[in-house]
Amino acid sequence: MDILRRSIKVYCIGVGLFIISSFIIAALICFTGFKESWSLYGIYGALGYSSLLIVVLESKIVARRGLLLGLGLGLVFFFSILATARLIFL
């Protein structure tokens, strides 16, 4: 049960980091001279960074097969955000 609680906490940290990074990228695009065409790459960067954080933190929680489990959860997070964005913006 402790592993599940820690995994949910890691997922919440990853989602929070993605949301904060997205707002920072949106603010940079709105208030500076960055091109709007770069926003997609910025979102991919924020998504990749938060997925990497999930992989690293999850691998520390589960010691033995932690890296594979963390990689799987990071990929699930990555593709769930991409699928959600595709459903919203289509």
Residues of the domain holding 74: 2-89
Report the C-alpha gap between 21 and 41 in whole angstroms. Answer: 12
Name the percent of the chain lying above pLDDT 90: 7
Structure confidence by residue, pLDDT tens digits, 34-69: 777 777 788 888 888 888 888 888 778 877 666 777
Number of compact structural domains in the chain: 1
pTM attached to this predicted model:
0.76
In this prediction, residue 76 carries a pLDDT of 84
Highest mean pLDDT, choosing among 8-17, 30-39, 70-79: 8-17
Place of tokens 């919203």: 88
Q: What is the average pLDDT score of the chain? A: 82
Report the C-alpha gap between 61 and 85 in whole angstroms. Answer: 29
Helix (H, G, I), strand (E, B) or coil at 15: helix
